[in-house]
Amino acid sequence: MQIDVERDADSSWTAKLHIVVRGIASQRSLHAESCETIASAAAVIAEVALEGPFHEPRPAPNLPSNESANDTRQGAPHGGASQLIVGLAGTLDTATQPSLDLGLEGDLGWARRTASWTLRAEASGSVFENRSTEVAGQPGEGGTFSLVTGGVRACATRVFGTLEAGPCLGGEVDFMSGSGTGTGAEQGSGAWGGLSGSALGTWNLGRAFGVTVRADGVLPLSRPPFVITRFEASDIVVHRPAPATFRMAVGIEARFF
């Protein structure tokens, strides 16, 4: 910055300001009756030119986003965390057994959380109550069946504050055993694989606990029949798993690390 001050013939004063800031040139010309006045005016203009339009604003503090702030206030799991998951759920099967069947499911898995998504891989096992059925038109002929399942699934859920929702894909193996009643008091067992697709919802009560709701559709890859064998007559089919089944599971999960 350069300031040239001259006294005019009429005893007044003239100041010419040449300012260059960050490669930008600016010129100002002032006229006043006294040297003190023109000096004060020149100082004000120089300060405005330097501190006003060329002043860089101070960067804003690095505050968390609204989503992060909400998650912190509500106790949601931290983004970027890996956790071990242990879960327990009650489950309902609609068509694998001869009738609606209640069971108990245990889950063990791993989850990786980001600010917007949770990726998880889980292994589960379920034990269901025994169910009995009779052969239509054959009084006293039937069987009692037990079901145990084991499977794995991978899920990707979108985070909405303390809530999460998303799809899962997986597979399972079903083990069924049956014993005949009546004249065909036989026993048998079978195992088959299946593919599963699920919709998973989670309500995070905090970093360490959550409530889960899951709806599963299961497509068995085979459907072994359970029969009563009769000599000199055709076998009687007592039960055969349905071509597809629907399951519902509601439970809680604990998270570690």
Whether residue 158 has pLDDT greater than 70: yes
pLDDT at 204: 95
What pTM does this model have? 0.67
Query: Model confidence at 67, in pLDDT bands (50, 70, 90)?
Result: very low
Rounded Cα distance between 37 and 5, Å, is: 12
Q: What is the mean pLDDT of the chain?
A: 84
Give the single-character DSSP code of 35.
H
What is the chain's alpha carbon radius of gyration, rounded to the nearest angstrom?
39
Whether residue 70 has pLDDT greater than 60: no
Rounded average pLDDT over 53-68: 49
pLDDT at 57: 47
CA atoms within 13 A on the CB side of 223: 15
| E-only strand ranges, 42-100 | 82-93
More confident residue, 35 or 150: 150
Give the single-character DSSP code of 182.
T
Selection from 49-63, 122-136, 179-193 with the highest mean pLDDT? 122-136
More confident residue, 253 or 8: 253
| E-only strand ranges, 62-141 | 82-93, 101-113, 117-128, 131-134
Percent of the chain's residues with pLDDT above 90: 53
pLDDT per position as a tens digit, 77-124: 555 689 999 999 999 999 999 999 999 999 999 999 998 999 999 999
